[in-house]
Amino acid sequence: MIATGKLRDLGQSLWLDNITRGLLDSGTLRHYIDALAVTGLTSNPTIFDQAIRDSADYDDDIAEAASTARSKEDLFFSVALADLVRAAELFEPVFARTDGVDGWVSLEVSPLLAHDTPRTVAAARALHRRAGKRNLFIKIPGTPEGLPAIEEAIFAGIPVNVTLLFTTEQYLAAADAYLRGVERRIAAGLNPAVASVASFFVSRWDVAVSGKVPSTLTNRLGIAAGKCTYRAYQEWLASRRFQRLANSGARPQRLLWASTGTKDPKAPDTLYVEALAAPFTVNTMPEGTLKVFAEHGRVVEALPPDGGNAEEVLAEFAKAGIDIGALAQRLQDEGAASFVKSWTDLMERVDQKSAAIRRAS
């Protein structure tokens, strides 16, 4: 059995962190589902920006939608949803077989709305309705500004992929926002089974401290931070608060490992995938990481529920002068700023592509 199948049998879901029209048209995504045990998919503005920039696959859709689109964002969502709806349909058998636990695709709401909870929730609701697919997550950042929108979206019954989480504290804040939304649904007599994942970003930790710590700590910070959060996740699942809600029909918000591609060329290309193999979690992998893991990845043992020696490793970083809390806040702030920049670049790309198509017609 190939490594991706072993990871699935261990109890972890493998999602692809990529989507392009070519992946769909060529049957590659279908192959990943059938041969590599892929059971979901995530997207982001950078992925779509590169896909639109690097091919003519979207030209016809852009030309057709341009005449009726109300804005650049509306035009982009027309194009993006065309891909994501097709992907969602490919994953519908998984979604049905797992009763909605797996088989999801994700679309990001505009990060320009981060400080406006009502508009974020309205946009999330509109996008979910527009897609018409139950297995579509709306991505909302787990920043302080995003937490109220997460709660409101869950209360509104919108499945949410919480992004940009770097620490246990940030994860728990996102989990609390999720639970508040669920509790409000129960109080209002609504079905509490609203799906969600909490996306913890791994490799950016190690990029941030590269060259600033002793060689013995190289590429260890992201894994240690992830392990600490996994322990908190296990405690959250076992908490009386969640168990009371589960008894009323609530679903657990699964922990998702994001940013799991190895950035250091000297490090193993399957580093983060192997280290964070854990049941009842998701790993969303870049396409390159998925393929190399399938080729030569190893699944030795599952991550222990207590996170192993993660606290000791974080203490070593503290001794080396790394302020974990300050760095985590910086990473989240930089990530949010990067999302805005990627979104702006994407809107410019769509506008330029639309203008070029009009000139050529």
Residue 214: Cβ-neighbour burial (10 angstroms; 0-12, 13-18, 19+): exposed
Residue 14 bridge partners (DSSP): 38, 283
DSSP string over 124-163: HHHHHHHHT-TTEEEEEE-STTTHHHHHHHHHTT--EEEE
For 26, the 3-state DSSP assignment is: coil
Residue 352 bridge partners (DSSP): none
Q: Given the residues 133, 139, 227, 353, select the one marked as catalytic.
A: 139
Report the alpha-carbon distance of residue 40 to residue 165 in Å, rounded: 20
Nearest of 187, 161, 184, 183 to residue 174 by alpha carbon: 161
Strands 136-141 and 254-258, by their bridges, are unpaired
Length of the chain: 361
319 included as an active-site residue: no
Report the alpha-carbon distance of residue 86 to residue 103 in Å, rounded: 13
* Cβ(183)–Cβ(245) below 8 Å: yes
Cβ-Cβ contacts under 8 Å for 105 (sequence gap 6 or more): 19, 40, 41, 42, 43, 84, 87, 88, 91, 133, 135, 136, 137
Residues 30, 31, 36, 41, Cα dihedral to 10°: -30
Residue 212: C-alpha distances to residues 46, 215, 219, 311 (Å) = 28, 9, 11, 20
Helices (H), the chain: 3-10, 21-25, 28-36, 45-53, 59-66, 72-97, 117-131, 147-155, 168-187, 203-209, 221-237, 240-247, 271-275, 287-296, 310-319, 324-360
Q: Which residues are catalytic?
A: 139
